[in-house]
């Protein structure tokens, strides 16, 4: 009987841990992008959408994505990691030259955020050194951000930016999966999460061109995050 009780307790403990893990996942992927005080979409009747790329720049994948965007005459926003900027300044200059926008994604992609202010400043300085421009939008790694951190980030002059459509390319679901994850959930005023670094992003590279073609066929226009804000019909859901 005692063995049975211990097994039951272990089962309950295991189940509880699984539920907590699921809650963390749901918070990060589903709930986090709608936190009050963050920019994750705009309300608009016009079919505009913003493609955003995290974790670059990467000498292979970012360059390939920039080639596609240039061929398709599409502008996007890149949330760069400061330490990667230092290794690929020419990619940052190309982004600016070709009309893309650069966002701040921290210096080391730290989830702890204990040195949040320092990471913001370090990355902004790296971007400025490479391009002569400053960053305005900040996306916390993984979308993890607290209310206090939001206020801290705003005090630094940044707009805390999340997303409303997750491509889930970080799970490497295949090219079809990435395209489907975005195309099926796209809506006017959406911000799409993609990645050009932080791992092997060949699936994302292959998906970008097809995704652009499909959304173009649905009469969407692609804009940067700054441009997206100009299309809002009224007060945005992110302005709480």
pLDDT in tens, 155-169: 999 999 999 999 999
Residue 195 lies in a domain: yes
Domain residue limits at 7: 1-34
Give 115's pLDDT tier (boundaries 50, 70, 90): confident
Q: Are residues 86 and 24 in the same domain?
A: no
Distance, CA of 88 to CA of 33 (rounded, Å): 29
Residue 29 lies in a domain: yes
Q: Are residues 89 and 5 in the same domain?
A: no
Residue 4 lies in a domain: yes
Residue 240 lies in a domain: no
Q: Are residues 53 and 169 in the same domain?
A: yes
Q: Is the pLDDT of residue 193 over 90?
A: yes
Residue 220 lies in a domain: yes
Could you list the active site residues?
A: 54, 195
Q: Are residues 25 and 67 in the same domain?
A: no
* Residue 21 or 110, more confident: 110
Distance, CA of 34 to CA of 24 (rounded, Å): 15
Q: Is the pLDDT of residue 26 over 60?
A: no
Q: Are residues 56 and 17 in the same domain?
A: no
What's the chain look like in SS3?
Answer: CHHHHHHHHHHHHHHHHHHHHHHHHHHHHHHHHHCCCCECECCCCCCEEEEEEEEECCCCHHHHHHHHHHHHCCCCEEEECHHHHHHCHHHHHHHHHCCCEEEECCCCCCCCCCCHHHHHHHHHHHHHHHHCCCCCEECCHHHCCCHHHHHHHHHCCCEEECCCEECCHHHCCCHHHHHHHHHCCCCCCEEEEEECCCCCCHHHHHHHHHHHHHHHHCCCEECCHHHHHCCCCCCCHHHC
Q: Find all residues with CB under 8 Å of 107, minimum gap 6, and list them.
A: 81, 82, 83, 118, 119, 122, 123, 126
Q: Are residues 42 and 29 in the same domain?
A: no
Q: Which of these, 5, 45, 26, lies nearest to 233 by C-alpha position?
A: 45
pLDDT of residue 30: 37
Give 33's pLDDT tier (boundaries 50, 70, 90): low
**Confidence (pTM):** 0.84
Q: Are residues 11 and 116 in the same domain?
A: no
Residue 52 lies in a domain: yes
Please tell me the total count of domains within the chain.
2
Q: Are residues 104 and 174 in the same domain?
A: yes
Q: Are residues 154 and 110 in the same domain?
A: yes
Residue 239 lies in a domain: no
Q: Are residues 132 and 30 in the same domain?
A: no
Residue 238 lies in a domain: no
Residue percentage of the chain with pLDDT more than 90: 76
Distance, CA of 116 to CA of 32 (rounded, Å): 18
Instruction: List 193's β-bridge partners, or say none.
Output: 52, 166
Q: Are residues 58 and 93 in the same domain?
A: yes
Q: Which of these, 35, 28, 30, lies nearest to 238 by C-alpha position?
A: 35
Q: Are residues 114 and 84 in the same domain?
A: yes
CATH at 114: 3.20.20.370
């Amino acid at each position: 009987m005692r063995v049975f009780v211990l097994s039951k307790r272990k089962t309950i403990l295991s189940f509880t841990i699984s539920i907590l893990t699921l809650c963390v996942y749901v918070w990060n992927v589903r709930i986090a992008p709608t936190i009050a005080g963050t920019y994750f979409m705009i309300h608009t009747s016009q079919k505009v959408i913003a493609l955003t790329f995290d974790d670059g720049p990467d000498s292979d994948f970012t360059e390939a994505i920039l080639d596609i965007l240039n061929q398709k005459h599409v502008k996007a926003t890149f949330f760069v990691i400061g330490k990667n900027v230092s290794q690929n300044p020419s990619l940052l200059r190309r982004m600016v030259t070709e009309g893309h926008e650069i966002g701040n994604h921290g210096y080391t992609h730290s989830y702890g955020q204990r040195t949040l202010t320092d990471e913001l400043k370090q990355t902004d300085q790296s971007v400025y050194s490479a391009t002569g421009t400053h960053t305005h939008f900040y996306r916390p790694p993984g979308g993890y951000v607290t209310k206090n951190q939001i206020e801290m980030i705003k005090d630094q002059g940044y707009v805390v930016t999340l997303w409303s459509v997750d491509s889930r390319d970080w799970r490497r679901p295949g090219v079809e999966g990435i395209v489907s994850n975005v195309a099926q959930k796209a809506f006017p005023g959406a911000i799409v999460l993609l990645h050009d670094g932080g791992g092997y992003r060949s699936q994302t590279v292959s998906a970008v061109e097809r995704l652009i073609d499909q959304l173009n066929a649905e009469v969407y226009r692609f804009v940067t995050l700054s441009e997206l804000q100009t299309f809002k019909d009224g007060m945005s859901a992110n302005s709480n």
